[in-house]
Amino acid sequence: MVTIDIKAESGQREMLRRMLTIRAFDTRAGELFADGELPGFVHLYIGEEAVGVGAISALEPDDYITSTHRGHGHCIAKGLDTYQMMAELYGKRDGYCNGKGGSMHIADVDAGMLGANGIVGAGPPLATGAALTASYKDEDRVALAFFGDGAVAQGQVHEGINLAATWDLPAIFVVENNHFGEATPVENQHNVEHLSATAEAYNIPGFTVDGMDVTAVYEAVEEARARAAAGDGPTFIEADTYRYKGHFEGDHEPYRTKDDIDDARERDAIDRFKTRLVDAGVITDAEFDDLEAEVEAEIDEATERAQDAEYPDPSEAYEDMFGAHVPEIEEFAARVRTDGGERQ
Amino acid sequence: MSTETGTGQAVSATETMTIREAIREALREELARDEDAFLMGEDIGTFGGVLSVTGDLVDDFGEERVRDTPISEAGFMGAAVGAAATGTRPIVEIMFSDFLGVCAEQILNQMAKNRYMFGGKAEMPVTVRTTEGGGMGAASQHSGTIHTWFAHLPGVMAVTPGSARAAKGLLKSAIRSDDPVFFFENKDIYEQEGEVPTDEDYTIPLGQASVEREGDDVTVVATQRCVGESLDLAEELAGETSVEVIDLQSLYPMDTETLLESVEKTGRLIVADESPLSYGTHAEVVARVQERGFFSLDAPIQRVGVPDTHIPFSPALEREVMPDADGIQAAIDRVV
DSSP per-residue string spanning A117-129: -SSTT-HHHHHHH
Candidates B68, B72, B118, B204, partner chain A, best to mutate (most A CBs within 10 A): B118
Phi-psi region of B207 (alpha: psi -120 to 50; beta: other; left: phi over 0): left
pLDDT band, very low/low/confident/very high, at B2 (cuts 50, 70, 90): very low
pLDDT, averaged across chain A: 96
- Beta strands, E only, B116-225: 127-132, 157-159, 181-186, 193-197, 210-213, 218-222
- Of the candidates B36, B82, B123, the beta carbon closest to that of A127 is on B82
**Minimal CA separation from B127 to chain A, in Å:** 14
Asked if A129 and B177 come within 8 Å (Cβ–Cβ), the reply is no
pLDDT band, very low/low/confident/very high, at A342 (cuts 50, 70, 90): low
Reply yes or no on whether the pLDDT at B242 is more than 70. yes
**Minimal CA separation from B253 to chain A, in Å:** 6
Q: What are the chain A neighbours of B87 within 8 Å (beta carbons)?
A: 133, 137
Rounded-to-integer distance, Cα A93 and Cα A99, Å: 5
pLDDT, averaged across chain B: 96
- CB-based contacts of B160, cutoff 8 Å, min separation 6: B147, B184, B186, B223, B224, B248, B249, B250, B251, B273
B3-197 homologous superfamily: Thiamin diphosphate (ThDP)-binding fold, Pyr/PP domains (3.40.50.970)
- Of the candidates A130, A134, A320, the beta carbon closest to that of B115 is on A320
pLDDT tens digits, residue range B29-85? 999 999 999 999 999 999 999 999 999 999 999 999 999 999 999 999 999 999 999
Per-residue pLDDT at A339: 58
Q: How many Å separate Cα A225 from the centre of its chain?
A: 18
**B30 catalytic residue (yes or no):** no
Q: What are the chain B neighbours of A155 within 8 Å (beta carbons)?
A: 74
Residues of B (264-303) whose Cβ lies below 8 Å from A = none
A71 lies within 8 A of chain B by CB: no
A172 lies within 8 A of chain B by CB: no
pLDDT band, very low/low/confident/very high, at A249 (cuts 50, 70, 90): confident
Residues of A (229-268) whose Cβ lies below 8 Å from B = none
Note whether A117 and B81 are within 8 A (CB): no
Angle between helices A123-136 and A155-166 (to 10 degrees): 20
- Of the candidates B70, B118, B252, the beta carbon closest to that of A97 is on B118
Domains B3-197 and B210-335 share a fold: yes
pLDDT tens digits, residue range B146-158? 999 999 999 999 9
Rounded-to-integer distance, Cα B304 and Cα B277, Å: 7
pLDDT band, very low/low/confident/very high, at A337 (cuts 50, 70, 90): confident
Residues of B (54-83) whose Cβ lies below 8 Å from A = 64, 69-70, 72, 74-83
Q: What are the chain B neighbours of A234 within 8 Å (beta carbons)?
A: none
- Of the candidates A66, A128, A321, the beta carbon closest to that of B116 is on A321
Mean pLDDT within B292-311: 98
Residues of A (142-171) whose Cβ lies below 8 Å from B = 143, 155-156, 159-160, 162-163, 166
Per-residue pLDDT at B9: 58
Asked if A101 and B75 come within 8 Å (Cβ–Cβ), the reply is no
Sheet of B37-41: strand order equals B66-68, B37-41, B89-94, B127-132, B181-186, B157-159, B250-252
Omega before A254 within 30 of 0, i.e. cis? no
Provide, rounded to the nearest whole percent, the portion of chain B with pLDDT above 70: 97
Reply yes or no on whether the pLDDT at B12 is more than 90. no
Mean pLDDT within A106-131: 97
pLDDT band, very low/low/confident/very high, at B124 (cuts 50, 70, 90): very high
- Which contiguous run of DSSP H or E holds residue A172? strand A171-177
Catalytic one among B29, B30, B42, B73?
Answer: B73
Rounded-to-integer distance, Cα A183 and Cα A174, Å: 21
ipTM given for this complex = 0.95
Residues of B (118-157) whose Cβ lies below 8 Å from A = 118-123, 154-155, 157
Note whether B203 and B169 are within 8 A (CB): yes
Reply yes or no on whether the pLDDT at A9 is more than 50. yes
Mean pLDDT within B205-223: 98
**Minimal CA separation from B198 to chain A, in Å:** 26
Reply yes or no on whether the pLDDT at B7 is more than 60. no
Task: Tell which residue, A255, A252, A324, A56, has the closest CA to residue A172.
Answer: A56
Reply yes or no on whether the pLDDT at A338 is more than 90. no
Reply yes or no on whether the pLDDT at B134 is more than 70. yes
Structural domains in chain A?
9-312 (3.40.50.970), 313-344 (no CATH)
Provide, rounded to the nearest whole percent, the portion of chain A with pLDDT above 70: 98
**Minimal CA separation from B188 to chain A, in Å:** 31
Q: The pTM is what? A: 0.96
DSSP β-ladder status, B193-197 and B14-18: antiparallel
Mean pLDDT within A27-46: 96
**B152 catalytic residue (yes or no):** no
Q: Kindly state the greatest CA–CA separation across chain A.
A: 67
pLDDT band, very low/low/confident/very high, at B4 (cuts 50, 70, 90): very low
Task: Tell which residue, A71, A82, A69, A77, has the closest CA to residue A28.
Answer: A82
Q: Which residue of B has its CA nearest to A167?
A: B69
Nearest-5° Cα angle at A244, A238 to A250 = 120
Bridge partners (DSSP) of residue B15 are B196
Q: What are the chain B neighbours of A156 within 8 Å (beta carbons)?
A: 74-75, 78, 105-106
Burial class (CB in 10 A: 0-12, 13-18, 19+), B81: buried
Rounded-to-integer distance, Cα A313 and Cα A236, Å: 44
**Minimal CA separation from A166 to chain B, in Å:** 9
Question: Could you state, in order of their start, the residue ranges of all structural domains in chain B?
Answer: 3-197, 210-335
Q: Which fold has domain B210-335?
A: Rossmann fold (3.40.50)
Asked if A129 and B86 come within 8 Å (Cβ–Cβ), the reply is yes
Note whether A163 and B72 are within 8 A (CB): yes
Burial class (CB in 10 A: 0-12, 13-18, 19+), B313: middle
